[in-house]
Each structure stands twice: as C-alpha cells, then as structure tokens.
C-alpha cells in the first residue's frame, strides 16, 4: 500500500497536517516504518518536519534542551552529554542508534523506551509548539497525544549523581529485561537527601519507583541502608511478559539489579 | 498515487528514480536500481542484512524511506571493490572463511567499513560492538570478528 510522506519546513504546518486520520509523525522510523513493513494498515500517511531546531542540542550552564529529532548516536557523540552516554547507548545496535530519535523513544512501548527511563529520572520537561509539560504527565497521556514533540529539557545532573543500568540477555545489544535510572543527591553526612528512580519494563511504559525513593531518604547507600528500599522495589509494578522475560522473572530480578545500581 | 522523484549518489554515481510513496530504500535499491547487494532478511530492523552507509553512517535500508534520502550519499557493498580489486574487508572475509551462506555478509562488511573508517585499529570489543546489530546464522561470529581485525591489520600495514 502506498504510504504518503509529507515533509514540512515548520512544526506548525506539520502539526496541522497530523490532524488527518491515519497519519503518524515520522521520527527515525525504527518503529513506525517497521509497523508499516509488518502490514499495519492503521498508518496511511507519515508527516515529518525538517525544522533545524528539532535536531539541535542546546546546553546553557547545566540546562539541557535536546530536539526531538536528535538521534541516540548524536547524544553519545556530544562532548558535554557524557552523563547520558550509557542511556543512549542502551538503545539498539549502531544502525538503530543512528536512526532512533529522542522523540520516538518517548512513545516506544516496553520493552523499549530505555532513554525515556533516563529522562523520567531526570524529571525532564516535554515540549510541543503549544507549551510544556512534565514528562510524567506526558507519559500518562501519550496514547492520545497528537501533537509533535519538539524537544525535551532537563537539568544535567552531577556526573556521580546519575546512574543508569540496562539488563539484557543478548550482549552487547539486546532488548531490556529491565532498565533503571536514578538521580541521587547525598547530604554531607553521606545519607540520601533526594532520590528519583525510574524503571523500564515494569509497566507498559517507564514508571517512577516512588516507594523505593521514599524509603531511601535519610539512608546511606550500603547493604543495610538500602534494605528497606529494596523491599519496597516491587510496589506498584506490573511488569510486561514478552519473549525476553516473564513478568514473574522481571519482578524477581528487579531488587537484585536495583541493589547493584544503588551500591554503585 | 503519483510517483515521487528521488535523487541520490550511489557508490559515487548519480541516481534519479521515481518511487511509490512509502517505498523503503532497500526496495528502491534492489527493485528499481538493481543493486541487490543489500539483503532483505527481516524488514524489521533486527537482522542488519540490509545495512548500508548513508552520509557516512551505518543505517538500515529496510526502515529508511527512499524519499528521505534525497541528496544523500549512499554506499553499498557493490561499490566497495575498486577496478576489480577486492576491498581489504572483502579479502579478509574470504581469507578467514567469514562467509558461509553469505546472506549477512553485505551488512556485516558495511558495518565493519564504518568502524574501520573511524577506528582504523579497533579492539576486539570495538568490532563486537560495531557488528552487534547484524545477525549471522552460519559462522558463529568468530571468523567474522577475525576478518575485521585482519582487515584492520592489513590496512595499518599498508599505511605504514
Ligand atoms: C531492532 C530494534 C532494536 C531496538 N532496540 C531498542 C532498545 O534497545 N531500546 C529502546 O529504547 N528502543 C529500541 N528500539 C525501539 C526504537 O528504535 C527506539 O525506541 C527509538 O528511539 C524510536 O524512535 P524513532 O525515531 O525511530 O521512532 P519512530 O518509529 O519514527 O516513531 C515511533 C512513534 O513515535 C511517534 N513520534 C516520533 N517522533 C515524534 C515526535 N517528535 N512527536 C510526536 N510523535 C513522534 C511516531 O509517530 C510513532 O508513533 C529498537 C527497535 C528496533 C527495530
Ligand atoms: S532486513 Fe533490515 S534489518 Fe533485517
Ligand atoms: S554467513 Fe550465513 S548468515 Fe552469515
């Protein structure tokens, strides 16, 4: 079936075209063209915008704005985004990373969305032409979302304050059994003063580990200090089952990997 | 539906074609232009057999729409040998028996070429990482890794 692609110089015009039924935005195409190749007839037209702002990375002080069309490969190459390299490199093999965009990753269903797990821990803001919204609100409503995402922005954490881990069975590339990202701040006495932890594959989309975060406050990052947090790790999760791992397996191994991440 | 004009450089030659909307680069190369070196394995981005180099980067031609390649510089395996002389990577794949059925070979060699273009003396881990998006069902990977390391050594000896 012919799949019409319309290209627009501005996001505004692309947004208007995206209102027609059957149209989807084309990022890197790793999910949407794949769906068309598989015979998904719900997509009859693709829209994209070549606005250069969509491909820009802007860093002012520790404020980072990444355009939605920026690829995972571009993030790994950026000299000032070293903190995020691990999360961007977690997405597919080299060819996928050259194509996969930040915008597309925000919509990727589990077991995908590894970079979005990092963005959720970073408390990123998701922008469209109409305004901004917190990433949690975006993720909750993404199924009904029709607007083109233009960028994500966040405060770059201190290098030692951000941790990311992806567990997969096929090395070095392979989809996630689970992924975890954490932004941790420590008080001068070594206890946790603030914690944001995000999980991938523990629901149909990235989610916060709120019970774990709460249980870590005021604790030290050692076996004894993290015990309560690990016990709370599976609270509120509904892991996916897929050919990589069952929900049961994911539930069993989450505290193990979370423990390793927290102990550094 | 109207055909869409696409122009790009393929292995150094200008190509101009009319394609149907939504035609993948893989299908345009194989069915329209007649370059059958990129192979269609899964059409899902998983096997890497369709890998080609677009503007210096390794990409999957099965997930790339031909229309988005206007003005691009595309390289495929069929453009690698020069004047009938095999590229060092092709030579090394033969010498190490890194090709059996050969279906994965074009994608493997293109992925390896991008690696060697940027990292002339790769470590074994670099090679494994560069080929991690390419599946081979015959060789067990070791001869392929050996071939890429051999081609790198041959290149650096030639350069010395
Ligand atoms: C073989 C393979 C391996 C993979 N491995 C991983 C992995 O390990 N980890 C991982 O996280 N993902 C993985 N993926 C999934 C995918 O490549 C990534 O999630 C990628 O980031 C999706 O981005 P894209 O630009 O290619 O999305 P597209 O396919 O272009 O789009 C996906 C969806 O998002 C929408 N969209 C895209 N951009 C925007 C925008 N700016 N505004 C609004 N809507 C938009 C599209 O309309 C579509 O519905 C893999 C995919 C394949 C094929
Ligand atoms: S045919 Fe493109 S990755 Fe398999
Ligand atoms: S040689 Fe047969 S798939 Fe690799």
pLDDT digits over A85-125, tens only?
999 999 999 999 999 999 999 999 999 999 999 999 999 99
Q: What is the pLDDT of residue A79?
A: 96
Q: Touching check for B1 and chain A: CB below 8 Å?
A: yes
> A38 C-alpha vs ligand 3 centroid, how far in Å?
24
Residues with Cβ within 8 Å of B128's Cβ and at least 6 positions away in sequence, in order, are A172, B145
CB nearest to A4's CB, from B1, B60, B68: B1
> B149 C-alpha vs ligand 3 centroid, how far in Å?
18
User: Is A25 a residue whose pLDDT tops 80?
Assistant: yes
CB nearest to A2's CB, from B21, B111, B133: B21
Surface of B (25-44) touching A: CB under 8 A? 43-44
Q: Touching check for B134 and chain A: CB below 8 Å?
A: yes
CB A58 within 8 A of CB A75: no
Q: What is the pLDDT of residue B160?
A: 62
Q: Counting atoms of ligand 1 from 1, which one is nearest the CA of A99? A: 26
DSSP label at B9?
A: E
Structure tokens at A158: 């201190």
Average pLDDT over residues A10-39: 96
Alpha-carbon distance B133 to nearest alpha carbon in chain A (angstroms): 5
Bridge partners (DSSP) of residue A4 are A45
Question: Which residue among B47, B65, B137 is best mutated to probe the pocket of ligand 2, counting the most ligand atoms within 8 A of its Cβ?
Answer: B47
How many CB atoms are closer than 10 A to CB B66?
A: 26
Angle value at C-alpha A204, between A203 and A205, nearest 5 degrees: 85
Pocket lining: B41 vs ligand 2, CB cutoff 6 Å: yes
Q: Do B65 and A33 touch (CB under 8 A)?
A: yes
- How far is the C-alpha of A204 from the C-alpha of A217, rounded, in Å? 27
Residues with Cβ within 8 Å of A7's Cβ and at least 6 positions away in sequence, in order, are A48, A49, A50
Query: Mean pLDDT score of chain B, rounded to an integer?
Result: 96
- How far is the C-alpha of B37 from the C-alpha of B10, rounded, in Å? 12
Q: Touching check for A104 and chain B: CB below 8 Å?
A: no
**In chain B, where does DSSP find H-type helix?**
25-27, 88-95, 105-118, 124-130, 142-159
CB B3 within 8 A of CB B32: no
- How far is the C-alpha of A70 from the C-alpha of B23, rounded, in Å? 24
Average pLDDT over residues A169-187: 94
Q: What is the pLDDT of residue A124?
A: 98
Pocket lining: B102 vs ligand 2, CB cutoff 6 Å: no
Q: Residue A91, SS3?
A: coil
Structure tokens at B30: 């194989």
User: Is B113 a residue whose pLDDT tops 90?
Assistant: yes
CB nearest to B65's CB, from A29, A38, A94: A29
pLDDT digits over A130-155, tens only?
999 999 999 999 999 999 999 999 99
């Amino acid at each position: 079936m012919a799949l019409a692609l319309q290209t627009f110089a501005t996001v505004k015009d692309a947004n208007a075209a995206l209102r027609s039924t059957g149209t989807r935005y084309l990022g890197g195409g790793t999910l949407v063209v794949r769906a068309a190749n598989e015979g998904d007839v719900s997509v009859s037209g693709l829209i994209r915008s070549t606005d250069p702002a969509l491909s820009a990375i802007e860093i002012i002080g520790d404020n980072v704005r990444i355009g939605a069309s920026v690829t995972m490969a571009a993030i790994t190459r950026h000299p000032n985004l070293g903190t995020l390299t691990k999360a961007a490199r977690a997405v597919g093999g080299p060819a996928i990373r050259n194509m996969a965009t930040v915008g597309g990753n925000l919509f990727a269903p589990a077991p995908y969305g590894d970079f979005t797990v990092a963005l959720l821990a970073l408390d990123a803001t998701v922008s469209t032409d109409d305004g901004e919204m917190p990433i949690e609100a975006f993720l909750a409503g993404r199924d009904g979302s029709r607007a083109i995402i233009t960028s994500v922005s966040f405060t770059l954490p201190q290098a030692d304050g951000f941790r990311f881990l992806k567990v997969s069975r096929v090395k070095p590339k392979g989809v996630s059994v689970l992924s975890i990202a954490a932004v941790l701040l420590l008080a001068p006495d070594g206890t946790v003063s603030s914690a944001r932890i995000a999980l991938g594959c523990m629901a149909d989309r990235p989610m916060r580990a709120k019970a774990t975060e709460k249980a870590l406050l005021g604790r030290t990052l050692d076996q004894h200090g993290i015990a309560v947090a690990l016990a709370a790790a599976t609270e509120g999760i509904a892991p996916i089952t897929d050919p990589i791992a069952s929900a049961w397996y994911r539930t069993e191994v989450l505290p193990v990997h979370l423990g390793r991440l927290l102990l550094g | 539906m109207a055909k869409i004009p696409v122009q790009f450089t393929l292995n150094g030659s200008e190509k101009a074609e009319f394609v149907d909307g939504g035609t993948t680069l893989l299908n345009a190369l194989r069915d329209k232009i007649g370059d059958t070196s990129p192979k269609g394995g899964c059409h899902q981005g998983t096997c890497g057999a369709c890998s080609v180099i677009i503007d210096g980067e390794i990409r999957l031609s099965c997930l790339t729409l031909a229309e988005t390649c206007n003005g691009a510089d595309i390289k495929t395996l069929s453009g690698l040998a020069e004047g009938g002389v095999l590229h060092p990577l092709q030579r090394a794949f033969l010498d190490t028996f890194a090709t059996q059925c050969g279906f994965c070979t074009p994608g493997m060699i293109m992925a390896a070429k991008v690696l060697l273009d940027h990292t002339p003396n790769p470590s074994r881990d670099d090679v494994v990482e560069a080929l991690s998006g390419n599946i081979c069902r015959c060789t067990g990977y070791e001869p392929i890794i050996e071939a890429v390391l051999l081609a790198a050594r041959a290149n650096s000896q030639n350069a010395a």
